Structure 1
Amino acid sequence: MDPLTEGEFVDARSFGFECVRKNPNKRQRYDVGTKSTILNILTNFFDKRSEDAFIYICLNTDGFARNRRIIFGRWFNELKSEYERHQSHIDYAEQGWYSALLIRKDNPSKQRYIDAFHYTQKRMLEDIENEEDD
């Protein structure tokens, strides 16, 4: 396959969710239901869209992005070995921003998705650095 060219787009899917606690002052506890929900979403997604890729981003508005990355990594390891995870970590404004691309190992476009993911992360970091210079 050809390497990505400037301005080329590669379609990938993502989803978001947010934990909204009834009592924000109460200590947050681990909810096993969250794990099964996320893993079901991922397996259903790849069952229906085996030639697509999936991106997740751990937002760091509460300072727990790294913790989420670790937890998602554990969950990912419980999935079937037919998937790959390609991670990215960007430090900006004294915070870590974590994201990952999930893809089936047998995806015929796998390398294009991986290249596009890393290209996007690189460009995003360059844009952040350019903003700091302004």
Structure 2
Amino acid sequence: MHFITVTKAIATLLLASNALAAPAPVATTPEEISSILSPAGVIEARDQQLIDVWEDKNFLGVKLTDSGVVGECKDFPKKFQTILSSGKAKPGFRCTVWPKKNCGGAESLSFDSTGRKAFTDAVNDKAKSFKCQKV
């Protein structure tokens, strides 16, 4: 009787370990594959660091590194929306900042990873939102 109980326990453990070792499902349809791949065929993170912005000109003062989804507009955190004066896109990106939320406003300012040491009057101390694209 004790032998049967031990045998059942071992069988249960073996089944459980096989279930844990089972491979994850594989994307097989074109739609499944394209949902996880970029146009270049590389898996990308949805939310990633895109931009560094500073309170003062010449990349000085309080610094904010902000994340977002490539190609989507994002508002800066409220406490930064009236103090930003310089910025750089992360390598491989080009970012645009706007003086209004939701990437609004008649004027904007774009820059790459070399950055802008001084924002133009249109966005200096007014930048409220940004959007970044791959270059």
- What TM-score, normalized by structure 2, do the two folds share? 0.27
Q: Report the structure number with the largest CA radius of gyration.
A: 2
The structure whose residues are more often helix, as a share, is: 1
More strand by share: 2
TM-score calculated relative to the size of structure 1: 0.27
| Bigger RCO (CA 8 Å, 6+ sep) | 1
